[in-house]
Amino acid sequence: MRRRSSLPVTFLVPTLAILLVLSMVPTLYAIVIALQNRELSAPGYSWVWFSNFADLFLDRRFLNAVWVSVKWEVVTVVATMAVAIGLGVLMFEVAAPRLRNIYCLLFIIPVLLPRVSAAFVWKFAYHPLYGIATYPYRLITGGLIFDPLSKASTALFAVASVDVWQWGLFFAVIVLKLLETLPPQPIEAARLDHAKRWQIHAYVTLPMLKAPLISLMFVKMIESLRSFDLIYVMTRGGPGVATETLDMYAFSQGFIESGKVSYASAMAVLMMIATVITFTFLWKRVQA
């Protein structure tokens, strides 16, 4: 019954055109820069084609950064989902509606914080001498020093804990809301069969929520790639290169250490190709 209208064209075309320009210009230009040998300090440049990419694969620090990024993705995504599902189920089982609302509000707070703020809050909490998070350790051991951020073996986990603090608690709220949308009949049926509570969730409710939980994981995988601010403030990639992810390394190559913009851009382009391929593939699988 709706008559033909010019609305879809006037509403969509300008916006999509602007989005396309704003996204394609930097994307294509990133590739162009990656094929040159630009440096921040020098105005001149020439085309070097793929030599930046070739150099990358001989660069041990780059390979380390790839490895750190993979570790970071796995640790933060797995821990976030575990915390979210664990706390979501706990709230569903033992919290009355009013208490649920209070917990939901509390659990949303950390994710709203700027990552810079979250990073500072925890950087100070992890301070070996004055930190509130390391205080229990000092108390128990009678003043021994525990410095998680400056030990290569613990730094990544210490930074990851902040990421999980922000996202795991927030996702717990979403898991709870998902559980609340489920029809109650299957749960009651399982209860009549004397299933234990954890069995009900492991075999009934969580499998019913498989699709939204996978989407949630997908969102976290994308967000985990944006960990730059957290790492920048808390460790700057250190100690050594223990927490140097790809974006951190690209940033320090491009701006802090040597100003090799093209080299950094080559790294960014590889990241872009990897993420676009991976996520497009995953997205099509999730949608199917």
Partner 1 sequence: MRPYPIRLGRLIAKAMLALAGFLAVFPLVWTALNALKNNVDIITRVPRLVFTPTLANISYILGRDSVLTGLYNSVVACGSAVLIGVALGLPAAYAVARYPNRFAGDIQFFVLSLRFLPPVAVAIPLMVIWLQVGLYDTLPALIVTYSLLTISVIMWLAIPAFQGVPKEIEEAAFVDGYGAYSVFWRIALPVAARSLAGAIAFSFVLVWNEFLIALMLSSSNAKTLPIVASELSQQGMNVPWGILNASVVLLSLPPLLFLGVLSGFLNSVFRQKKT
Residues numbered 208-237 forming contacts with partner 1, rule: CB under 8 A: 222, 225-226, 228-229, 232-233
For residues 69 and 278, give the distance between their C-alpha atoms in angstroms, rounded to a whole number: 14
- Options 94, 152, 202, 286; binder of partner 1; rule CB under 8 A: 94
- Options 52, 62, 65, 110; binder of partner 1; rule CB under 8 A: 110
- Options 97, 142, 143, 184; binder of partner 1; rule CB under 8 A: 143
Binding mask 156-195 for partner 1 (x = CB under 8 A): ---------x---x--xxx--xx-xx--------------
Stretch that binds partner 1, among 22-30, 48-56, 60-68, 74-82 (CB under 8 A): 22-30
Interface size with partner 1, residues (CB under 8 A): 94
User: Taking the complex as a whole, how short is the minimal distance between the CB of residue 15 and partner 1, in angstroms?
Assistant: 4
**Residues shown for the chain:** 288
Q: How far is CA 19 from the centre of its chain?
A: 24
CB 132, CB 138: distance < 8 Å: no
For residues 224 and 231, give the distance between their C-alpha atoms in angstroms, rounded to a whole number: 12
Q: Is 199 in the site for partner 1 (CB under 8 A)?
A: no
Q: Is 114 in the site for partner 1 (CB under 8 A)?
A: yes
CA separation (Å) from 108 to 114, 122, 168, 209?
13, 17, 10, 21
Residues 119-138 that bind partner 1 (CB under 8 A): 120-122, 124-125, 129-130, 132-133, 135, 138
Using the minimum distance from each CB to partner 1, give the nearer residue, 133 or 153: 133
Using the minimum distance from each CB to partner 1, give the nearer residue, 2 or 60: 2
For residues 44 and 246, give the distance between their C-alpha atoms in angstroms, rounded to a whole number: 27
- Options 54, 102, 152, 211; binder of partner 1; rule CB under 8 A: 102
For residues 130 and 138, give the distance between their C-alpha atoms in angstroms, rounded to a whole number: 10
User: Taking the complex as a whole, how short is the minimal distance between the CB of residue 141 and partner 1, in angstroms?
Assistant: 12
Contacts of 31 (CB under 8 A, 6+ apart): 269
For residues 185 and 288, give the distance between their C-alpha atoms in angstroms, rounded to a whole number: 27
Using the minimum distance from each CB to partner 1, give the nearer residue, 123 or 242: 123
- SS3 of 211-250: the string is HHHHHHHHHHHHHHCCCHHHHHHHCCCCCCCCCCCHHHHH
Q: Is 29 in the site for partner 1 (CB under 8 A)?
A: yes
Residues 236-275 that bind partner 1 (CB under 8 A): 246-247, 250-251, 254-255, 261, 264-265, 267-269, 271-272, 275
CB 37, CB 45: distance < 8 Å: yes
- Options 16, 63, 189, 211; binder of partner 1; rule CB under 8 A: 16
Whether omega for the bond prior to residue 239 falls within 30 degrees of 0, making it cis, is yes
